[in-house]
Amino acid sequence: MTSRGRAIAQIAILAGVFLLLFLFFPPALAFAELAAREIRYLWWVVLLVALACWLIWGLNRKPK
Read off the pLDDT of residues 8-64 as tens digits, 9 standing for 90 and up: 999 999 999 989 988 888 887 788 788 888 877 788 888 888 899 888 887 766 666
Q: Which domain holds residue 17?
A: 3-58
- 40 assigned to some structural domain: yes
Is position 44 within any domain?
yes
Residues in the chain: 64
Type of residue at 37: R
- Helix extents (H) in 1-64: 3-24, 26-38, 43-53
Tell whether 20 is covered by a domain: yes
What is the predicted pLDDT for the residue at 49? 87
What is residue 39's DSSP assignment?
Answer: T
Number of domains composing the chain = 1
- pLDDT for 13 equals 94
Q: What is the pTM for the complete model shown?
A: 0.46
Coarse DSSP helix, strand, coil percentages of the chain, rounded to the nearest 5 percent? 80, 0, 20
Taken in order 15, 21, 27, 28, is the CA torsion positive or negative? negative
- Examine residue 64 and state whether it is found in any structural domain, yes or no: no
Check if the beta carbon of residue 39 is closer than 8 Å to that of residue 46: yes
